[in-house]
Amino acid sequence: MNKAQLIEEIQKLLGKEATKTCAEKALNAVLAAIKAGVKKNKKLQLIGFGTFSVVERKARTGINPQTKEKIKIKACKVVKFKPGADFKASK
């Protein structure tokens, strides 16, 4: 599913009175709030859905797939998602 398909699904769930523009604004607002929450608190938990958290990835050695040369990959921070129990059960 891509973003356009997700917007259509949101529009269906909101009902006949909702427009695509309204659904897109709702999606963009939720995504912006998730980004802000993770950036500010380093963790955002949505009960029943899952938890977004910032984790530190250590520096490591990798291999350039084109040249097979070993390269150093710097340490960085990445966002991790851990699904909640309800989300896992909905498969």
- Residue 71 in 3-state DSSP? strand
Report the C-alpha gap between 4 and 50 in whole angstroms.
Answer: 23
> β-strand 76-83 against 60-63: which pairing, if any?
unpaired
- CA separation for the pair 28, 35 (Å, rounded): 11
User: Full-prediction pTM beyond 0.85?
Assistant: no
Residue 16: per-residue pLDDT: 83
pLDDT digit string, tens, across residues 27-72 = 999 999 999 999 999 999 999 899 999 999 999 999 999 999 999 9
- Residue 3 — pLDDT band, cuts 50, 70, 90? very high
Confidence (pLDDT) at 71: 95
Q: Which residues pair with 70 in a beta bridge?
A: 63
